[in-house]
A and B are shown apart, each in its own frame.
Chain A
Amino acid sequence: AQKVTQAQTEISVVEKEDVTLDCVYETRDTTYYLFWYKQPPSGELVFLIRRNSFDEQNEISGRYSWNFQKSTSSFNFTITASQVVDSAVYFCALSEAGNQGGKLIFGQGTELSVKP
């Protein structure tokens, strides 16, 4: 069965701290796709990154970096030098290639609060 677990419900940090958001997934498919979305207080869902199961290379985009480890079924997200504007709910999501419809299975989300 497919499942995404974000064990951290809420994280609070002070500006400029580094913070890592954890994501653990379960799937029986050998080909799958992992995503991170950001939901700021305004409510929209903003795509951040997609990673396919064959690409374990870590990725860095500015202050954001992602660590994908198939051995532990994890796809963690790190924000370096956090800023107040990073305050949002962050969702990790999974899509299985065997699912022709391409639905996303979301985790529960981690609410990040960055205080000045």
Chain B
Amino acid sequence: EPEVTQTPSHQVTQMGQEVILRCVPISNHLYFYWYRQILGQKVEFLVSFYNNEISEKSEIFDDQFSVERPDGSNFTLKIRSTKLEDSAMYFCASSDLAGLNEQYFGPGTRLTVT
């Protein structure tokens, strides 16, 4: 069964460093998403991406964040200068139809900023 994959599973970085989180969505999906979950809290939407551009972004997704689909398979989230409060689990998701069908989530990348 197709699945969303994410690398790395755990990333530790120092405050102020840049990180890139990588995702490989399901191959025939067209809509891609990043969410984050601070430990013990709810899952929060960051950004949606379709047709090589951002469809929507939340207030959390400020200028420090960017997304890219550098090739036909990868979907990346970059945090330019990490802050302590960026520590969270980051989930990538993909869907074949925005909103209509379920989003399939990757296993997540746990980002720890020290």
A43-B107, A45-B91 as given contacts; A101 in contact with B44, CB under 8 Å: no
Q: Hey, which chain B residues are within 8 Å of A35, CB to CB?
A: 102
Q: Which of A59-102 contact B (CB under 8 A)?
A: 91, 93, 95-97, 99-102
B98 near A47: Cβ-Cβ < 8 Å: no
Q: Which of B58, B99, B107 contacts A97 (CB 8 A)?
A: B99
Is B82 part of the contact surface with A, judged by Cβ < 8 Å? no
Q: Which of A22-41 contact B (CB under 8 A)?
A: 33, 35, 37
Question: In the complex, how many residues of chain B place their beta carbon closer than 8 angstroms to a beta carbon of chain A?
Answer: 29
Q: Hey, which chain B residues are within 8 Å of A47, CB to CB?
A: 102-105
Complex: chain A residue closest to B89, CB-CB: A43
A45 CA to B108 CA in the complex, in Å? 9
Is B28 part of the contact surface with A, judged by Cβ < 8 Å? no
Is B87 part of the contact surface with A, judged by Cβ < 8 Å? no
User: Which positions in B face A, CB cutoff 8 Å?
Assistant: 31, 33, 35, 41-45, 48, 50, 55-56, 58, 89, 91, 93, 95, 97-108
Which 4 A/B pairs are nearest by Cβ-Cβ distance? Answer: A102-B98, A101-B55, A101-B48, A102-B99
